[in-house]
């Protein structure tokens, strides 16, 4: 996954500076795990408005770095959150966690 993101960023930035790519990747990875914590907290509180907002942001974060798997997972979560579907959110959270494990 890291190589895929690096290749996407190289194409978008027109720069293959390994330090820049590593910095952007690390920032993205950290952001993903922050968003997951936000999702977990909002899910426990059954705050579907917050769940929708955070999943929407995660979807955009993933799209900006070319993480299409996470983007799809976040989209599915967002749809469930918008419908106040707790079971769907819990199911999609599992998928989001699986996607996040692929970020070394």
d(CA 9, CA 72): 19
d(CA 38, CA 40): 5
Identify the architecture of domain 17-101 in CATH: Up-down Bundle (1.20)
Please report, for the chain, the start and end positions of each structural domain, with discontinuous segments joined by +. Answer: 17-101
- The three-state secondary structure class of 32 is helix
- 6-53: pLDDT as tens digits: 999 999 999 889 999 999 999 999 999 999 999 999 999 999 999 999
Are 92 and 80 in contact, with CB atoms under 8 Å apart?
Answer: yes
Higher pLDDT, 1 or 76: 76
d(CA 63, CA 77): 15
Q: Which residues contact 13 (CB under 8 A, 6 or more apart)?
A: 20
pLDDT of residue 16: 87
Lowest-confidence segment of 13-17, 70-74, 76-80, 90-94 by average pLDDT = 13-17
pLDDT of residue 51: 97
Average pLDDT of the chain?
96
Task: Give the H or E element holding residue 27.
Answer: helix 18-44
């Amino acid at each position: 996954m890291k190589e895929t993101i690096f290749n996407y960023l190289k194409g978008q930035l027109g720069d293959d500076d390994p330090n820049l790519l590593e910095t952007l990747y690390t920032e993205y990875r950290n952001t993903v795990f922050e968003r997951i914590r936000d999702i977990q907290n909002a899910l426990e509180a059954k705050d579907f408005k917050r769940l929708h907002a955070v999943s929407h942001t995660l979807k955009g974060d993933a799209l900006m770095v070319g993480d299409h798997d996470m983007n799809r997972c976040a989209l599915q979560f967002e749809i469930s959150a918008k419908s106040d579907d707790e079971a769907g959110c819990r199911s999609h959270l599992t998928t989001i966690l699986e996607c996040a494990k692929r970020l070394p």
